[in-house]
A and B are shown apart, each in its own frame.
Chain A
Amino acid sequence: MTTHPIDEHVHELGMPAFDQRIADAVARSVELGGEKQTTLKAKDLKTDQEVRWCPGCGDYVILNAVQSFLPSLGIAREDMVIVSGIGCSSRFPYYMNTYGMHSIHGRAPAIATGLAASRPDLSVWVVTGDGDALSIGGNHLIHTLRRNVNLTILLFNNRIYGLTKGQYSPTSELGKVTKSTPMGSLDHPFNPVSLALGADATFVGRAMDSDRKGLTEVLRQAAEHQGTALVEIYQNCNIFNDGAFELLKDPLTGTQWSIPLVHGEKIVFGPDGASCVVADGWGGLRVAETNQVDEADIVVHDAHREDPAYAFALSRLSSQDLRYTPMGVFRSVAKPTYDAMMTDQLEDARSGQPADLDRLLRGSDTWTVEA
């Protein structure tokens, strides 16, 4: 009774043998209900719950983009889990016909870590916001990133507290006038991409809610990434911070101030490619006029660079008012994932000395009292 029999289910699922009973339940449900459907349509991911964001909220377009994109992964909806915290964006799981947990403020990365670390067979997603991930949950976010647990974090950044009706957030710009800062915010904001790179995140990307193509591309790469992927999604809160990203969305100014990042390509942007990114001579990067620099000096984007300093330098190009904002994948490097290493340790321990509860309980120093 003390050793776990091995069954094919656990191996099929890539789970260690201890998770036999979980694997059995999954297998039984397939026996009863038929094979899991891996060819999905966007509508298969919708729930019967009425979506309750404010009309016009950027969350709608993100939800649509995610529901259209996820089927391309070929993962059954039973194998997807979305964990969220608290905030407008954290309502997300209710609208996705997958497994989900709408948890408590800031703690989604921690909860998702426990789930992803113990269930490597699942595709685990975290949906969070700027207040949830960067203020109350800042600690969990950075530690999740450094551990590289296999999960994808979608950070909806609207630079405001929406659900609590309009206080400044940790990404609100200095001087921002809100309900709680009538004379302007005194807080210097976080740049979420810089913060994630500082935590040595193995994947960091940024996309715009309204840019379906760009968002889908970043999501695709994030989903393929093994380890923790952080995607910052600029999301318009049309009620409390309308137009926060207008500078980047407006067709005219958008071209001027967004810096599209494409791996392996020179970083050139602006109308007619008038601007580019070059080394600043101090270990950082700066924006230059393309016709003023030697073409060979223009930085070729390398998302796979081991040293996060380069991606960090990219993230520092943007100012608080969003001029020079790189969009796309900043960093994507391969490192062992926490859950895979944890599974390996378990399997190693098991092959070293098979689990025997009687032997464990007896220990090495026993004595016997005869009847």
Chain B
Amino acid sequence: MTGTTSETAPQTQASAPGGLVKDVVTLDRVVIRLAGDSGDGMQLTGNRFTSETASLGNDVSTLPNFPAEIRAPTGTLPGVSSFQLHFADHDIMTPGDAPDVLVAMNPAALKANLADLPGGGLLIVDSDEFTARNLAKVGYAENPLEDGSLEGWQLVSVPLTSMTTDALADSGLGKKEAERSKNMFTLGLLSWMYHRPTEGTIRFLERQFRRKPEIAAANIAAFRAGFNYGETTEAFAVSYEIKPAPMAPGTYRNISGNQALAYGLVAAGVRSGLPVFLGAYPITPASDVLHELSKHKAFGVRTFQAEDEIAGIGAALGASFGGALGVTTTSGPGVALKSETVGLAVMTELPLVIVDVQRGGPSTGLPTKTEQSDLLQAMFGRNGEAPVPVVAPRSPADCFDAAIEAARIALTYRTPVFLLSDGYLANGAEPWSVPDTDSLPDLRVEFATEPNGTDAAGDPVFLPYLRDPETLARPWAVPGTKALQHRIGGLEKADGTGNISYDPANHDHMTRIRQAKVDGIAASLPPTEVDDPDGDAKVLVIGWGSTYGPIGAACRRIRRSGRSIAQVHLRHVNPLPADLGDIIRSYDRVVCPEMNLGQLSLLLRAEYLVDVHSHTQVRGLPFRAAELAAVLQDVIDSTGPEVQS
């Protein structure tokens, strides 16, 4: 059943839990999708299962998928929320293309997700919810649990709701309230099925409902009842074991992209010795970064929920002028509003990190779905020649390092920097090897403390636009500093003095030097890593951002099929690494998969005059590794020796 794509044959052994003889099957990987109404607590259930799984030492990758509406009508298709997690005894890169197991808490969840469950997959449904009324809501004329339409799957129909209320009969809770614990019953059942530890969840529930002990007790009782049900029922004859994945030694935790990003910003504040100032306006899917940072005032992190996106970035820039590490967080529509202030930051040459957690666009688009379509907005979405560095994380945990890198560039070069995350990274989670904080980059920069030039009369003066010869960064003199008072602003600056200048030659010079400063960042980047284990690949696949997982998984499939492929994944999209041109030109074909209509491809073609093969998809969901592998395979197979000649 499960683990249909597993690389090793399931190993079966008999065991006798609870007196009943049950088989234990060892799998190398499983993908489970939990689907229910948005009110059913699927995200919480998924997160708990993820934590249990991670603590067991499996590698894990998750993909939450929830509706844009906060509370769509109960039991309807738009109200379906799901959480997919992939865990394995080896290093994995994606939340899995298709689930091996689907848990459907109601008919809507079944209808919305069944097509993704491959034939033969395990399907667990809450039979209590398959009432005539609920079936009618989603247009089932017949009950699919009874009409034979689910014969192609291993259907296990369990009255999850009523078993939960039965288990809580003595809890003192009303029926409605007791029913709400059905997600914990389900979690208990899954925990038994997959041999997950239970203590973490019990501790979590006690913590979560500290102030409502009766609710904590009910949830724990439901969780245990679900576990015991698995152990005793005949409905499940087998349980599964997934051995821990071999991972590098270290201390691990599970972390989501938004949390890692927020931690990266806190760490950047600590490592630069500067207070972090976040100016932000709530927007999906970036708000969690604001929430997270607002908890860390003890680190000197100031969070300011502004009246709008423009004020969010404005306040951050004002704080940067005052010597803080200014940060603003948003998604695509917010970037559109912030553009003018990004331009001001380019002109005033102050450090600023602009976090864009991308979502489906244009306009309001798909707020809860993922996309990579703001790259060109980040690159060019401003008036005038206004170059801004662009940094992108590749996985949820990598958001931590990417945030530190964005801060490094902002502080070193005195420039706004775009950090392009996306909805998939933001809400997805994976194990993270917690770094030793002393090993994090040292981000300290010097403030200017004394005049750096002389005027015509030979008196010392401060020249706010006198540049560091190496980085081309201008001095950062914060208000309060003796004798360095100066004025900056959006009007063109005279080189050196920073006074207003309309001089044609000066404008030409300043425009070029701002560009040269950003281009010069490339000199600080490490050599690009090319993953070409066979060393004879003719096709290079290049990506940026959250496609790293699916592209990497696709490359593994390709290599398992005996073909060679090289992979490059960009951390820096602007400036591009200095060695990238040579790398790209050394392959016969270059494929660039993106969740947009070819934005990086456009940049690569323009930069290197190479005919990049653009493979794109904008479904609001990450690529599926299998589909991507098929595309890459076609490219490889069509790149014969004759093409090389």
Contact = CB atoms under 8 A, between A and B. Distances in A.
Contacts of A368: 249-252
A93 B487 contact: yes
Contacts of B324: 114, 118
A113 B520 CA distance: 33
A125 to B, nearest CB: 12
B449 A29 contact: yes
Nearest to A32: B450
Given A102-B487, A107-B341, A78 B200 contact: no
B267 interface: yes
For chain B, the bracket of interface size reads 35 or more
B437 A104 contact: no
Nearest to A363: B253
Nearest to B260: A361
B298 to A, nearest CB: 4
A20 interface: yes
A237 to B, nearest CB: 21
Contact of B267 (A117, A140, A361): A361
A76 to B, nearest CB: 8
A118 B489 contact: no
A358 B279 contact: no
B57 interface: yes
Interface string A325-348: 000000000000000001001101
B315 A34 contact: no
Contacts of A291: none
B202 to A, nearest CB: 13
Contacts of B623: none
Contacts of B448: 25
Contacts of B348: 101
A97 B236 CA distance: 80
Nearest to B324: A118
A119 B480 contact: yes
Given A101-B348, A366-B251, A111 B308 contact: no
A19, A116, A143 — most chain B CB neighbours (10 Å): A19
Contact of A111 (B56, B298, B314, B434): B314
A86 B490 CA distance: 9
Nearest to B200: A365
A110 B449 contact: no
Given A102-B487, A104-B340, A114-B304, A365 B55 contact: yes
Given A101-B489, A140-B311, A358-B437, A19 B275 contact: yes
Interface stretch (A56-64, A246-254, A271-279, A349-357): A349-357
Contact of A79 (B57, B343, B480, B490): B480
B86 interface: no
A301 interface: no
Given A102-B491, A103-B490, A114-B317, A13 B311 contact: no
A121 interface: yes
Contact of A99 (B200, B274, B314, B487): B487
Contacts of A354: 298
B39 interface: no
A100, A140, A357, A371 — most chain B CB neighbours (10 Å): A357
Contact of A107 (B266, B274, B314): B314
B300 A355 contact: yes
Nearest to B315: A114
Contact of B277 (A13, A33, A81, A118): A118
B578 interface: no
Contacts of B310: 107, 110, 140
A118 B444 CA distance: 19
B499 interface: yes
Contacts of A20: 273
B484 to A, nearest CB: 7
B323 A119 contact: yes
B463 to A, nearest CB: 13
A4 B275 CA distance: 11
A122 interface: yes
B299 interface: yes
B494 to A, nearest CB: 11
A159 B475 CA distance: 39
A363 B432 CA distance: 11
A345 B266 contact: no
Nearest to A119: B322
Contacts of B499: 49
Contacts of A2: 270, 437
Contacts of A78: 479-485
Interface of B: 51, 54-57, 200, 247-255, 263, 266-267, 269-270, 273-275, 277, 279, 296-300, 302, 304, 306-308, 310-311, 314-324, 326, 340-341, 343-344, 348, 434-438, 444, 447-451, 478-491, 499-500
19 contacts: A1-B437, A22-B447, A25-B449, A32-B450, A33-B483, A78-B485, A94-B500, A98-B485, A100-B489, A103-B490, A107-B310, A110-B318, A113-B315, A114-B316, A119-B479, A143-B311, A346-B297, A349-B296, A367-B54
Given A100-B486, A111-B317, A363-B255, 19 more contacts: A4-B300, A21-B444, A22-B275, A78-B484, A78-B485, A104-B343, A112-B318, A114-B326, A115-B322, A122-B480, A139-B311, A140-B307, A143-B311, A349-B296, A350-B300, A354-B298, A355-B299, A367-B253, A368-B252
9 cross-chain pairs, A with B, having the tightest CB-CB distances, nearest first: A18-B300, A102-B489, A114-B315, A114-B318, A110-B314, A349-B297, A25-B447, A110-B311, A111-B318
